[in-house]
């Protein structure tokens, strides 16, 4: 028999009843039932119940063991007594009667329990991550992560992609975040950079004559951490294709991502025909370029109903051409308590408040029976396609409903009714309003839409809604530096090519850039590349980079473009975020093996740490801490 085990702790079944087996693992839980000890023995594969009674030679040793001790037991497999089977456990029909027990690794007192799913402070969990990873849910998440990556690889290879590995030590590149720099010992005063993404290398692979590239790529960015982005490093499914247009990328990527989600969604619905939402439309409807389409609320421009109205605050704002008023519908939100709560939330977000209108049945209107008949009649007319009848019934409905609240009082019943009709709201519903320059309030409007959807339980949490976000602007205005900047990926092809770069207002140029949004997260981003050297130089020139800068900082790719560059494009999908969504968690630390904390510190390994003087001398650098 093997020194440590004949079976794993997840392998035993009724087929082994009567066999002598050897198991090794951790003592997950120990119970004393009237002098008989029950040990739930756990390993990577599962859990088996071990029974040790006072007549067993193993009993004396079993009395000493505690939670998380590593032990080996020899014993006979037997059926569990009637009524004690555990159908939720793979080994729940059997148990092992222990004859011999050996302690392989005793455990000190635990700083956090492994049994159960009790929340513990992040600092404790990360400092003792090796214990945290023994916990069932986190262990399962990590295994799911591996399976998802396997599925990605298989599907990419099935699409004809080849896996390559690009360098980790490279040159600094303006990808939109800070680089991690690595000092060179052989070249004093010079530094490598860890790649923020394999962007240039994967394009160079296309220049080199390969056709379809992918890799599960580590990326490094010196950014502040947040829940949906780990500090330091993350992984992405990176891909690039030659001789393609935007539609070819969509056709290759969509079945891969859809298939992976379907495989791990545990029966939850997954979008089949992804909508294509232009960037500007996404902002106007949802207040974000990564909309959660599980939320049915769609914002609308209702400026015309407030222009010249008695609500002077909005009316004066609308005298400025760029300003608008947007409405956020709130079906079922027509109570004063809810509207006041939303107003308080807005003030907590740094806003002056959140205007609203509520709609209710008129007190002297239809009876309950007539109201129900009218509602049923409208539904029947719509279902039967009786447009004229439906319009007549809608008119009666409008006569029986009224808008209330300060805004309604100021703009009057006709404008209030026009807003209700535009938003298709009913009695018991409400609408909230934001006003001003959309560029400045759009983010808050998106947050308000999300808040309303969450508070009114309108979001279907048990589905995955995927969409393409397309037509991103090529450039944006940097108010701080008073200059035009790239808004997305600087290597993307502008729509209209070189002609657009030469003759169009940069802030109106759209790019062949696209994202994938899922349930409120951006899970992938990409673009068709700008593969013509003269167009590349012009694109960077508009953003304030001269031709010499392009040649200096992107020399490899710029030179490659001179020698026959194929049209190409690709994208990168965030492995960590996809795994996070599929595991049903909201923090990337729940799907990563050894993450850092919110201060970008590895509590387990003690990084970052000071370098020894000898190391610094070899690297020709000196530490100069800033005065506190």
Tell me the two tokens of residue 431.
Answer: 């609408």
Binned at pLDDT 50, 70 and 90, residue 364 comes out as low
Indicate the pLDDT class of residue 116, thresholds 50, 70 and 90. confident
Q: Could you give the count of Cα atoms lying within 13 Å of 192 in the half-sphere of its Cβ?
A: 13
pLDDT for the residue 228: 67
pLDDT tens string 263-291: 999 999 999 999 999 999 999 999 999 99
Is residue 307 scored above 70 in pLDDT? Answer: yes
Q: Give 373's contacts (C-beta < 8 A, 6+ positions apart).
A: none
Whether 301 has a pLDDT exceeding 90, the answer reads yes
Residue 175 has pLDDT above 60, yes or no: no
* Residue 365 confidence (pLDDT): 66
Tell me the residue ranges of DSSP E strands in 343-411: 355-361, 401-404
Helix (H) or strand (E) holding 95: strand 94-105
Q: Looking at residue 505, what is its pLDDT?
A: 94
Which residues 6+ apart lie within 8 Å of 455 measured at CB? 333, 338, 341, 342
Question: What's the average model confidence in pLDDT over 136-154?
Answer: 97
Task: Provide the pLDDT for residue 214.
Answer: 98
Average pLDDT over residues 373-384: 75
The pLDDT of residue 394: 67
Q: Quick check: 1 pLDDT over 60?
A: yes
Nearby residues of 66 by Cβ (< 8 Å), 6 or more positions away: 27, 30, 106, 107
Instruction: Decide if pLDDT at 162 tops 70.
Output: yes
Residue that has been written with the tokens 């701080």 in this structure: 480
Q: Please tell me the predicted confidence (pLDDT) of residue 111.
A: 95
Listed in sequence order, the residues at least 6 apart from 527 whose beta carbon sits closer than 8 Å to its beta carbon are 488, 489, 491, 492, 493, 511, 512, 513, 514, 569, 570, 571
Round to whole Å and give the CA distance between 590 and 256: 24
Of the pLDDT bands very low, low, confident and very high (cuts 50, 70, 90), residue 391 is confident
Tokens 């160079």 belong to 204
To the question of domain 276-455 being in CATH 3.30.1360.30, the answer is yes
pLDDT at 302: 97
Q: Which of 106-115, 192-201, 398-407, 470-479 has the lowest mean pLDDT?
A: 398-407
- Say how many C-beta atoms besides its own lie within 10 A of residue 537's C-beta: 21
C-alpha separations of 14 from 11, 90, 92 in Å:
10, 11, 10
Question: What predicted TM-score, i.e. pTM, was given to this entire model?
Answer: 0.91
pLDDT of residue 368: 66
- pLDDT tens digit string along 400-445? 788 899 999 999 999 999 999 999 999 999 999 999 999 999 999 9
- Domain coordinates in residue numbering, the chain: 14-105, 276-455
Rounded CA-CA distance 418/396 in Å is 14
User: If you average pLDDT over residues 150-170, what whole number do you get?
Assistant: 97
User: Which has the minimum average pLDDT: 178-182, 336-340, 362-366, 471-475?
Assistant: 362-366
Q: In this predicted structure, what is the pLDDT of residue 176?
A: 64
Q: Give the pLDDT band (50/70/90) at residue 174.
A: low
Asked if the model's pLDDT at residue 374 lies above 90, the reply is no
Asked if the model's pLDDT at residue 370 lies above 80, the reply is no
The residue ranking higher by pLDDT, 367 or 299, is 299
DSSP state at residue 45: T
Give the mean pLDDT of the chain: 92
Q: Which CATH class is domain 14-105?
A: mainly beta
8-state DSSP, 508: G
pLDDT for the residue 173: 72
Least confident of 52-61, 178-187, 389-398, 601-610: 389-398
């Amino acid at each position: 028999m093997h020194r440590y085990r004949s079976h794993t702790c997840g392998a035993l079944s009724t087929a082994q009843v009567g066999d002598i087996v050897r198991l090794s693992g951790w003592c997950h839980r120990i119970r004393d039932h009237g002098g008989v000890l029950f040990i739930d023995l756990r390993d990577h594969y599962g859990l088996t119940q071990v029974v040790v009674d006072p007549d067993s030679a193993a009993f004396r040793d079993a009395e000493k063991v505690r939670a998380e001790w590593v032990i080996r037991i020899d014993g006979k497999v037997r059926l569990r007594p009637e009524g004690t089977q555990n159908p939720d456990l793979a080994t729940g029909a059997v148990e092992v009667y222990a004859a011999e027990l050996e302690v392989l690794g005793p455990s000190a007192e635990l700083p956090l329990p492994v049994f159960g799913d009790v929340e513990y402070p992040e600092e404790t969990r990360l400092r003792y991550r090796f214990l945290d990873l023994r916990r069932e849910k986190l262990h399962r998440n990590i295994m799911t992560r591996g399976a998802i990556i396997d599925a990605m690889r298989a599907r990419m290879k099935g699409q004809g992609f080849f896996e390559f590995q690009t360098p980790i030590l490279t040159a600094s590149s303006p990808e939109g975040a800070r680089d991690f720099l690595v000092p060179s010992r052989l070249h004093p005063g010079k530094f490598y950079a860890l790649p923020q993404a394999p962007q240039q290398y994967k394009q160079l692979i296309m220049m080199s004559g390969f056709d379809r590239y992918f890799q599960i790529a580590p990326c490094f960015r010196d950014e502040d951490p947040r829940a949906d982005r780990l500090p330091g490093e993350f992984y992405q499914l990176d891909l690039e294709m030659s001789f393609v247009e935007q539609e070819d990328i969509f056709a290759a990527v969509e079945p891969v991502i859809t298939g992976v989600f379907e495989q791990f969604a545990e029966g939850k619905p997954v979008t089949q025909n992804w909508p294509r939402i232009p960037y500007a439309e996404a902002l106007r409807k949802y207040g974000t370029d990564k909309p959660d389409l599980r939320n049915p609320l769609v914002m609308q421009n209702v400026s015309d109903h407030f222009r010249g109205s008695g609500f002077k605050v909005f009316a004066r704002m609308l005298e400025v051409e760029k300003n608008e008023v947007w409405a956020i519908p709130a079906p079922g939100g027509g109570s004063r308590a809810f509207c006041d709560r939303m107003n308080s939330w807005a003030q907590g977000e740094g806003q002056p408040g959140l205007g609203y209108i509520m709609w209710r049945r008129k007190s002297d209107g239809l009876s309950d029976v007539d109201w129900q008949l009218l509602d049923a009649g409208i539904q029947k007319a719509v279902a039967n396609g009786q447009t004229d009848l439906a319009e007549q019934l809608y008119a009666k409905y409008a006569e029986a409903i009224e808008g209330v609240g300060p805004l309604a009082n100021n703009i009057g019943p006709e404008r209030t009714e026009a807003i209700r009709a535009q938003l298709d709201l009913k009695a018991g519903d409400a609408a909230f309003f934001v006003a001003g320059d959309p560029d400045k309030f759009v983010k808050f409007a998106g947050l308000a839409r999300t808040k309303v959807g969450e508070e009114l339980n309108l979001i279907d949490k048990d589905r995955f809604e995927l969409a393409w976000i397309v037509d991103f602007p090529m450039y944006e205005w940097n108010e701080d530096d008073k200059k035009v900047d790239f808004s997305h990926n600087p290597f993307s092809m502008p729509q209209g090519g070189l002609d657009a770069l030469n003759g169009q207002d940069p802030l109106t140029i759209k790019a062949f850039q696209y994202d994938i949004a899922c349930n409120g997260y951006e899970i992938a981003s990409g673009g068709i590349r700008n593969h013509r050297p003269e167009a590349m130089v012009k694109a960077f020139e508009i953003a304030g980079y001269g031709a010499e800068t392009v040649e200096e900082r992107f020399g490899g790719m710029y030179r490659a473009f001179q020698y026959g560059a194929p049209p190409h494009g690709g994208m990168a999908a965030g492995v960590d975020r996809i795994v996070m969504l599929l595991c049903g968690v909201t923090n990337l630390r729940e799907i990563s093996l050894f993450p850092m904390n919110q201060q970008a510190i590895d509590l387990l390994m003690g990084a970052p740490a000071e370098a020894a003087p000898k190391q610094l001398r070899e690297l020709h650098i000196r530490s100069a801490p800033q005065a506190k």
